[in-house]
Amino acid sequence: MRYMDAGEAHGLGLVTIVDDVPAGLRINPHNIDDDIARWDRLHGRPAQQRAYEGVELLAGVKDGRTVGAPVALCLARAENGAAMEGERRRSVVRPGTAELAGALKRDLDDCCDISDRTDARVGAMRVAAAGVPREFLADLGVEVHSYVTRIGEAVMREDVDASERFAYTPLDVEMSTLRCPSAQATRAMEAQIDRAVAEDDTLDGEFRVAITGLVPGLGDDMQPRGGMQPLLAAAAFSVAGVRGVEFGCATAGLCGSRAIDTPSCTSLGFTRSSNRAGGIEGGVSTGLPIILRVAVAAPSVLGKEVSALDMETLDSVDCAPGRFDACRVPSVAVAVESELAFALAQAYRSKFGGDCMGDVHAALDAYNARLARAAR
């Protein structure tokens, strides 16, 4: 399952096409709107109306179910949600962004041509498109959760057991203004962001992703590039701002005997005594939750003047402050969830195929039955 999107931050809207979608998959646009709302909710951002209307399914869906054709989605600009910068031409490049490198690469002299496409707001379409693989995975019992563990110097402490699995409910996460399941840590993180907003500065952070409900055996243990780690890491790194990905629990300083997960067989099938590897061994899923720890860089666009370069005069100038978010860790977490959903759907499609959901379930049921027989 894959997607291609188009649109700019100041355009009429955003569109995307999702391909390789089996027929018979129920798509609920309200669930997609809820995900966009999760992505768009940032503590410290000035109150403003949403930039886009609700998602519209243009093709590939009939009576709420996919028909096997590519699914087309659209996010139209809200009529009065556009209180966005009106500048339509700018030669001063903002440091830390793709504007200078992108303009040189494409022989452009207007930084807006680059920033309109790389603007974080365009990420709304990524989240909307992921509504399709999310529904596909949910139909197979797979869920992708994320929660924030650090913003600036404020850190949420977890015990080892919680770090090896998703130990919280989605309500614990979504009730927090910063998608952190600890109320105490949330307050400390809010204080960090409030201070950064007052200083027109930005903050980095970290979050954890837990993927539950996976079958064992996804990924390729014979071809290194086909393993689950490169597949999922590439998906996470495709989101702007991600600067580091680590699988499993922190094992730095541990000898091998304390870092491995001892296998066993129970009445429920094959399992492990722990999940320090984070649900992947030798590039293949083990059936335990896949755990990723993701580091996010501080946004490079600040709320104060910084030294920059004017492409027309080639002189050093002061870049005026623009629209900025003090911290984007919670929204980056939702965006990474979205990319991981596509990667996981791709892994399931590769292993189980099927032109319709009935075929997918039949192949999956047969596979699970074989694993159950092996565990007897």
Tens digit of pLDDT for each residue in 175-189?
999 999 999 999 999
CATH number at residue 327: 3.60.150.10
How many angstroms separate the CA atoms of 92 and 319, rounded?
Answer: 7
Strand, helix or coil for residue 19: strand
Q: Which residue, chain included where needed, has tokens 């996460």? A: 173
Question: Full-prediction pTM beyond 0.75?
Answer: yes
Residues in a beta bridge with 205: 151, 296
As to burial, measured by CB atoms within 10 angstroms (0-12 exposed, 13-18 middle, 19+ buried), residue 46 is exposed
pLDDT of residue 155: 96
Under the banding of pLDDT at 50, 70 and 90, the label for residue 8 is confident
Query: 108 in a domain, yes or no?
Result: no
- What letter does residue 77 receive in the DSSP assignment? B
Angle at 178 between CA 176 and CA 182, to 5 degrees: 55
Average pLDDT over residues 247-264: 76
Give pLDDT tens digits for 71-90.
Answer: 999 998 775 444 444 556 88
Higher pLDDT, 138 or 319: 138
- Identify the pLDDT of residue 10: 81
pLDDT 10s digits, 17-39: 999 999 999 999 999 999 999 99
168-185: burial string, b at 16+ Cβ within 10 Å, e else: beeeebbebbbbbbbeeb
Q: Does residue 218 lie within any of the structural domains? A: yes
The pLDDT assigned to 151 comes to: 97
Tokens at residue 39, please?
A: 């992505």
Structural domain boundaries, residue 251: 2-86+119-374
Name the residue among 168, 204, 198, 202 with its Cα closest to residue 183.
168
Cite the beta strand spans of the chain per DSSP E: 2-6, 13-19, 56-59, 61-62, 65-66, 71-76, 92-93, 143-151, 154-155, 205-212, 242-247, 263-266, 269-272, 280-281, 284-285, 290-296, 306-310, 316-319
State mean pLDDT over 309-329: 86
- H/E stretch holding 195: helix 183-198
Predicted local confidence at residue 129, as pLDDT: 96
CA distance 290 to 164: 9
Q: Which helix (H) or strand (E) holds 374?
A: helix 357-374
Residue 270 lies in a domain: yes
Kindly give, in sequence order, each residue whose CB lies less than 8 Å from that of residue 277, ignoring residues fewer than 6 positions away. Answer: 247, 248, 259, 260, 261, 286
Within a domain: 93: no
Task: Measure CA 18 to chain center.
Answer: 17
Domain presence at residue 100:
no
**Pair 189, 178: CB distance under 8 Å:** yes
Structurally, the chain folds into a number of domains equal to: 1
pLDDT digits (tens, 9 = 90+) for 354-372: 999 999 999 999 999 999 9
Q: Which value, in Å, is the radius of gyration of the alpha carbons in the chain?
A: 22
- HSE-CB for 199 with a 13 A CA cutoff: 10
Contact 344, 214 (CB under 8 A): yes
Q: Is residue 107 part of a domain?
A: no
